[in-house]
């Protein structure tokens, strides 16, 4: 039996069904947070777990290497507003400028813009029964926190970072 020149028996009906499913998926709202691969190569930092444990505190290791998080309102930088920039504490990669930091009420340092999209990597995170966007350091692959779409202008993003992953460098006076 033939319908529209597509034979129902065998595997020939799979392609049209697949195309219809894709068309339905593409009609869904797309996220404004774009997952990216860094087009420019950065000098990567590679260390063994033992080496990371030697340079990071237990909390830093838990957050940055085991994708943990510090408790809200306990981090060094959640209520800190000096002028300067924030680096990855593991490799000194510049991550955020203090001018982009804002009070989000979430209990973690929050920024609306990354220093450069080349310095971070965004990755889909489906842990803990949620779908989120994880933020990683582009140089050492350290977990920094997550980014959400509920931030202020100009980006509408909230980079919610762990203080344990950051080092603040004040502006020179």
For the annotated catalytic residues, the residue numbers are 160
Q: What is the DSSP letter of 105?
A: S
Nearest to 42 by CA among 140, 136, 134: 140
Yes or no: say if 84 and 170 are a contact pair by the CB < 8 Å rule.
yes
Residue 63 in tokens = 């957050």
The Cα–Cα gap between 40 and 47 comes to: 21
Q: Within 13 A of 154's CA, how many CA atoms are on the CB side?
A: 4
Q: What is the 3-state secondary structure (H, E, C) of 107-165?
A: CCCEECCCCCCCCEEEEEECHHHCCEEEEEECCCCCEEEEEECCCCCCCCCEEEECHHH
């Amino acid at each position: 039996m033939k319908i529209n020149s597509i034979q129902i028996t065998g595997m020939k009906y799979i392609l049209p069904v697949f195309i219809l499913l894709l068309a339905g998926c593409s009609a869904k709202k797309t996220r404004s947070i774009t997952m990216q691969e860094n087009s420019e190569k950065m000098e990567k930092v590679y260390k063994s777990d033992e080496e990371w444990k030697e340079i990071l505190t237990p909390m830093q290791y838990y957050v940055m290497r085991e994708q943990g998080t510090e408790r809200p309102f306990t981090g060094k930088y959640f209520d800190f507003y000096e002028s300067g920039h924030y680096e990855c504490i593991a490799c000194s990669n510049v991550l955020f400028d203090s001018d982009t930091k804002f009070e989000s009420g979430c209990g973690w340092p929050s920024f609306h813009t990354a220093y450069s999209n080349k310095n971070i990597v965004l990755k889909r995170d489906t842990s803990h029964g949620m779908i989120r966007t994880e933020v990683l350091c582009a140089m050492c692959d350290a977990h920094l926190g997550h980014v959400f779409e509920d931030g202020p202008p100009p980006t509408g993003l909230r980079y919610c970072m762990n203080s344990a992953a950051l080092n603040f460098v004040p502006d020179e006076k």
